[in-house]
Structure 1
Amino acid sequence: MRTPLILAATLFAVAAPTVAQMPGAPDKSRVTAGTYTVDTAHTQVAWKVNHMGFTMLDGLFGATGGSATIDPKNPAASKVTIDFNVADTLTVTSPQFAGHLKSKDFFDVATYPTAKFVSTRIQPMGDHWMMTGNLTLKDQTKPVQLTVRFMGAGQNPMNKKANVGFTATGSIMRSQFGLGYAVPAVSDKVDLTINAAFVGA
C-alpha cells in the first residue's frame, strides 16, 4: 500500500526545480583582508525628508569612487572612503524638483558638484558596527555616525573578483551643511540608507 506514495514522493523530488543560490552570502568567513574599490554601479545613498508633514520624499545619490581597506581580524582598523558627484547622480522622480535641489537654494551643484565621506572610527558592536566619519558637502565637513551591517561576500561570477557589501543607516541635519532652505516646512533631519558594494583587486 505504501509503494504508490513512495513512488510519488520520488518522482516529485526528481521533478522539483533546483533553486540556485546567490553568489554572495552573509558569511563573514568569506571576507578576505585587503583594499577594495567602490563598485560605483551598485553603491547608492538613499535619503528621506518629511515634506510639510504631508508626505515623505525620497531621493538617491550614486557613488563615483572610493575604497575600503578591510581587516576581518581587526575591524576597527578598517577604513572607508566614498566619493559622490552630486551634480551628476542626484536622482528624484520629478525633473522640476531635481532642478530645484541642484540650485543655490539647496546643493548649488554649479559651485559644489561633489561630496565625500571618510571614516574616522569603526567600532564593532556585536552583530553590527558603529562607523563615525566626516561628511563633506557644500564645502562643510561635519561628523556623521552610521550603523553598519554586513550584507554578504563571495565571488562575483561576472568579473570573477571578490565582492563584499554592507548596508548603513544614519541621519544628518541638513542645515549643518548649508542646506537649510525651507526648514521647518521641510524637515531638517534627513534619514540615510547607504548600500555599499566593494570589489577586490
Structure 2
Amino acid sequence: MNKFFTIATVALIALASCKGAPKADKAETTEEQQALSKEGVAYHIDSTQVVSFIGSKPVGEHHGTFNISEGQLFVSNGVSVTGGKLTMDLKSLKITDKDTAGSTKLAGHLASADFFEVDKFPTATFEITNVQPYNVDSTKSALVLDGATHTISGNLTLRGVTKNVTFPAIIRVTDNVATAQANFNINRTDWGLVYGNDKSLGDKFIRPEVNVSFSIAANKQQ
C-alpha cells in the first residue's frame, strides 16, 4: 500500500510540474503594418511601469519584466485612444520568480545572443497601428481577458524584426488618465528567438509561446 501511495505521489508531482504555456488569448501575428498618425492629445507613460513576460518549459516557468523607458498614448476628443508607442529597455530585464535561485544566471542568458541579444538590440518597441471596439466573435473560443473593450493592433519590433500583433485589451480614458490592460501569448520564433525550441530536448525544451502582459497608465500632458 505504501508503495502504491509513493508511486501515486510521484505521478501527481510530475503532472503538476508539466505545465503548459500560460493560459491567455493568442495574439494574431502578421507582417508589419502602417502606424497610425499621431492625432489627439498626448498622454505620457512614465518610466516606472513595466511589461511582464512568462516563458515556460515542461518542468516549470519563469517570470520577468522589462521597464518601459518611454511611451505615449494619443487620445482624441477625450474618449478614444487613437495611437501610441512605447519603448522597452531590454537591458532592464528582471527575473521575478518567487524562487530567486539562479535568477542572475537566467537573466544573463536571456540577455545573451541566444535570446534578446541586448548589447546589439538594447530596446524593443510597440507602435499602435489600429484600435477598434471589441466585437464578440461567436466562432472563436471565449476570451481569457474578461471584460475586453477594444482590439489593439501594433508593430512589435524585437531583435530588429518587426511583426504586427493583434490582441484584446481593456482601455479606459478619463479627463487626465488613459489606461490599457492586456494579457496574451505570442510565438517567440516569429522574431527569430529559436533557442531551445526543439521538443527532443525533453525537460530542456523551451516552449515557443511566451506570455506578455501589461497594465499601464498614461497621464495627460499639461
User: What TM-score range do you get, normalising by the shorter chain?
Assistant: 0.7 to 0.9
Partner of residue 181, structure 2: 167
Following superposition, the deviation at residue 107 of structure 1 comes to 0.6
Runs of at least 5 residues in structure 2 that lack an aligned partner in the other structure? 1-39, 97-102, 136-147, 199-204
- Correspondence 1:83 to 2:87: yes
Question: How many pairs were matched up?
Answer: 158
Written as runs of structure 1 = structure 2, the 5 A alignment for 1:7-156 is 34-41=41-48, 43-51=49-57, 53-71=58-76, 75=80, 78-87=82-91, 89-93=92-96, 94-125=103-134, 127-150=148-171, 153=174
Match of 1:4 in 2: none
CA displacement 1:12-62 (0-9 Å, x = unmatched): xxxxxxxxxxxxxxxxxxxxx621111221x221111222x1112111111
The aligned amino acid for 1:170 is: F
The corresponding residue for 2:220 is 200
Question: Contact 1:145/1:170 (CA < 8 Å) preserved in 2?
Answer: no
| Unpaired stretches in structure 1, ≥5 consecutive residues | 1-32, 155-161
Structure-1 separation of matches of 2:184 and 2:174: 23
Aligned to 2:191: 177
Larger Rg: 1
TM-score normalised by L of structure 2: 0.66
Percent identity between the two aligned chains? 26
2:74 and 2:173 map into 1 onto residues whose CA distance is 16
- Is the Cα–Cα contact under 8 Å of residues 169 and 193 in structure 1 kept in the other structure? yes
- TM (norm. structure 1) is 0.72
The whole-number CA distance in structure 1 between the counterparts of 2:127 and 2:79 is 18
* CA gap 1:74/1:197 in 2 versus in 1, 3 angstroms: closer
Offset, 1:182: 0.3
Deviation at 1:152, TM superposition (A): 7.0
Structure 1 vs Structure 2 CA RMSD: 2.0
